[in-house]
Structures are given as structure tokens and as C-alpha cells.
Structure 1
Amino acid sequence: MEWQEFSGSWVLIPENPIGIIHFLGGAFVATAPHITYRWLLENLAKKGYIIIATSFLNTLDHKSIALNVQNRLENILYRLEYRESIELSYLPVYGLGHSMGCKLHLLIGSLFEIERAGNIFISFNNYPLKQAIPFVENIIPSLRDNLKNYWKIDNNLEFEFTPSPEETKIIVKENYQIRRNLLVQFNNDSIDETSTLKPILTDLFPDMVSVLTLQGNHLTPLGQDIDWQVGDMFIDGIGQWFKDNFSQDLSNLYKEIYRWLNPLI
């Protein structure tokens, strides 16, 4: 099972698939989701899910991004079914998002007529532009000036994502249509806004929204479980320490997602 590129998205197709996961990553790590989120996505594929990881470049217009990634998903599904002869009509489709990817799935589920068996939101983030840039700069040093040049942002002018955080909340409250949802937050994540999303979804669909708080931080979904070469006692010790301190958080995230997808297993 290898990654294939279709229409700018990266796709994994297991034998005898049991479902489809449309993945959207964080704002500045979503251009190569098959690399940045490789371990998580590949392990879900091993459980029988077709993974469609759609890359995108962040701009101020998040509605346009949502429309673009949804159109690309539909094109890929058409190609898989009619050109690759893969039977998809009976497979449930789930949305899986991390950080900004959560906002895009919320917009997709609110603005377009789609069918989803459920959505999974990891570390939901809906910050305004002025707050978003400093947070990203903390993750990727010296990025602020590049972002301002890319978006042509003048420090003397007011710019904001569209829809704005408040507009996004209104759109979701009035239009969101996906009934089953999983919200995942981490105990060491200072930029998570799951607490603002939970009441909105719970009001819409009581008893259909699950919320989990796991060990980890905002970057946990991007982790990679390194396959250490065994044999050397020192290397084995380092590998075990790494797994105990970092990989376990990622592994727990994967297990909880799979459990939610398959509650009877």
C-alpha cells in the first residue's frame, strides 16, 4: 500500500476498504499531509480506511479553501469509482481535521450539501489573524514576516480571515449538518479552542458529540513513531525512552480515533 497523488491530494487505498477518511491538516503543515501526518494516516489505512489527505495553502479566504478541497474530494471519489473501478457507494465517509483543518470541515459541513458518517476534530483552532500569526511563529521561527509578505498584510491596515472566528461560529450554529462528532483536545495545548466548539455542537446534536482530553500537545498528531533498529543496548534504551515519552501520546490518539470509528470492536 503506497501513497498515490490524485488532483493534488494524497491517497492510500487498502484492500477491502471499510470506509473513507477525508483528512485536512493544520494551516502551515497541510501542504504535504502524507509526510507530516504519515504515521497516523498510514495506521488508519492499515485498519481498512481509504485515506484522502488533501493539501492546501492557507490564505485569508477560508470559504474558498473549503470549497476547493471539497471539490477536489468529489473529483477523487469520482475517479476512484469510475476510473479505478473501486466500489465506494456503500462506504461511510468521515472527515478528520487537525487545527485549521477542523475549521475547514466545519465550513464544509455547514455550507455544502454533503453526506458524512461523522467528523473528528483534533485541536480545533479558530483564532483571528492577529493571534494566529504569533502562535505559528512560536512553532516555526521567523515566519511572521514571510506570512505578512505572502498575504500582503500592511501593519497599518486591518486584515482578518474570512469568515472571521465569530462569523464561523454563527455559520456552524445555523447550518452545520453532521450529526456524529468526536472532539479531541490535549492537556498541554495552549491554542486549543475545543471548549468553544463543544457547546455549539452539543446544542445542535445532544448525545451525539463525544469529547476526549488526551496526553499531548498541539503537535502530537504530527508525531512519527520511529522504527528503531534493535540489537544495541544503548540504542534500544534511547528508542524505548522515545516511545515512552513521545510516541505513546500519538499511539493513544490513533487508538481513540479508531475506537470511535468502530465502537463495537
Structure 2
Amino acid sequence: MDWKEIRGNWVIVPQNPIGIIHFLGGAFVATAPHITYRWLLEQLASKGYVVIATPFVNTLDHTAIAKSVLLNFDRTLERLQDTATLRKLYLPIYGIGHSMGCKLHLLIGSRFQIERAGNILISFNNYAAREAIPLVEQFNSTFAIEFTPTPLETNKLVQEQYSIRRNLLIKFSNDTIDQSAALTKILQERFPEMVTAQTLPGTHTTPLGQDIKWQTGASFTPFDALGQWFKQEAYRDLNELKRIIFLWLNPLSPP
């Protein structure tokens, strides 16, 4: 896949695109999403989706980050629409977020006037700063350190102002920091019958899985068999995630 940096975003533009994905990753792996989420994003591009992955650095001001990543996305989309590839095409835009990236998509959909065909929110968490950042607990008694908006403010904002009607929430069965259940309830009350929740096998880091290039030797050995088994096990969860995402994006397309 041919990754390009366009106005600070990492972008793949497939031939004959059918949609656009704005991807936002987790707090400490979002600085290079084209590397940390490479396999998943390239799978999306292989199905015809333009991928615009916006890197960001985590700070306490999540509203400012949301505004910044949206501005970067819009600038890059404008540049792409000026090219022959996307000119005169109407393509649906979907947001996909992992972990903190979910919160940013929620803030974007609550605070700004945007057009989205839907959002996919994977492994959402909405912790307070003292729970999310090591050492904050030690200083919190002296300094008022907290994310903006706070977890409670975020929930209230989504409950009252979030404008993206169609949503897929994905949590993993072995994810101890996922907070999708509370968000699912809020969204299902706001948009009945438009919100889908799925629990898949895996962990909080499943979306970060990468391809393992396993080369067998001249003869197939027991060690090769072990390697193939490991690869199959490692990718079972990741491939199920991919299947569910594709099915939601386009229910009529083959997996």
C-alpha cells in the first residue's frame, strides 16, 4: 500500500474509492497511526476506502485535540478533492476511533457541524486523568489535573449534542479498561435502533495487530508448523474485527 503524508495526515487513496475513513488511534500510539495500525488500515484501503489517519499528541485538553484533528482532516480532504482522484465524487465519510480516538470522534460529533455516515467506536474508555495517566494521583492533591472535558462532562455532551446517528460500538472480551457499556446505553437512548454493540474475542490492543511474515524453509518442519499455528491464533481476533467492521460499513458486500 502506498502511504502518503498530506498536510500532516497519513493517507491511502485506493483506485475506485467507495468511501472515506477518518481514523483516530489511542492516546500513546496515535502519533504514527500508519505504523501502529498499519494492518487494519491497509485492509480498509484494500476494500476501497480512502484512509485519512490523523496523528495527535495527547494533552489534558481533549476539546482542543478534537478541534485540531478535525481541522487537519478537513484540510487533507480538501486537498484530495482538488485532485483528479476524488474530484466530483460524493463519498460517505465514516469515523473510526480506537480507545481515546473514540472520545475525540464523540467530541467532534458533539461540538462541530460535520457530515458523517456513521462512526465505529472501538474499545472506548473515558477515564479521569488520575486513572489514565501514571503519577497524576501523586500530584492531584496539590494541582487540579483533569481532562477537558471531564468524563461526566463528556457523557452529558454526548447525551445532549452528539449528532452522528449510526454507530457501531466494539468491545473485546478480555479488555479490562473498556467503558463501551455506559456509552452504548447513552447512544441507544439518543438514537434508538441506530446503534449496534458487539463484543468480540480479543484485548484492548487487538486493533494494533500486525502482519507476521512467516517464511518456511525448503522443507516444512515442526517449527514451521508451530509458527503457522501462532500466526493463525494471533490473527483470529484481528480478522474477526475486520469482518465485523466491513459488514457494518457495507452489509451487502462479500467479506
**Band the TM-score falls in, shorter-chain normalisation:** over 0.9
Once residues 88 and 69 of structure 2 are traced to their aligned partners in structure 1, the CA distance between those partners, rounded to angstroms, is: 19
Letter in 2 for 1:175: Q
Letter in 2 for 1:262: N
Q: Which residue of 1 aligns with 2:105?
A: 105
Do structure 1's residue 199 and structure 2's residue 190 form an aligned pair? no
Do structure 1's residue 181 and structure 2's residue 167 form an aligned pair? yes
Which of 142, 153, 176 is the aligned partner of 1:156?
142
Once residues 110 and 126 of structure 1 are traced to their aligned partners in structure 2, the CA distance between those partners, rounded to angstroms, is: 15
Once residues 178 and 240 of structure 1 are traced to their aligned partners in structure 2, the CA distance between those partners, rounded to angstroms, is: 41
- Flag structure 1 segments of 5+ consecutive residues without an equivalent: 135-143
Q: Which residue of 1 aligns with 2:225?
A: 237
Give the conservation status (yes or no) of the 8 Å contact 2:130–2:140: no
Which of 189, 203, 207 is the aligned partner of 1:221?
207
List per-residue Cα deviations over 1:202-229 (Å, max 9, x = no partner).
0111000011100000000001121211
SS at match of 1:172: helix
Deviation at 1:239, TM superposition (A): 2.5
Once residues 210 and 87 of structure 1 are traced to their aligned partners in structure 2, the CA distance between those partners, rounded to angstroms, is: 33
Deviation at 1:83, TM superposition (A): 4.2
Once residues 118 and 35 of structure 2 are traced to their aligned partners in structure 1, the CA distance between those partners, rounded to angstroms, is: 25
SS at match of 1:10: strand
SS at match of 1:242: helix
Give the conservation status (yes or no) of the 8 Å contact 2:4–2:11: yes
Give the conservation status (yes or no) of the 8 Å contact 2:33–2:53: yes
**80-89 or 7-16, which deviates more:** 80-89
Do structure 1's residue 32 and structure 2's residue 32 form an aligned pair? yes
Give the conservation status (yes or no) of the 8 Å contact 2:172–2:201: yes
Deviation at 1:154, TM superposition (A): 6.6
Q: Which residue of 2 aligns with 1:190?
A: 176
Once residues 153 and 69 of structure 2 are traced to their aligned partners in structure 1, the CA distance between those partners, rounded to angstroms, is: 20
Aligned residues: 249
- Flag structure 2 segments of 5+ consecutive residues without an equivalent: none
Identity of aligned residues (%): 59
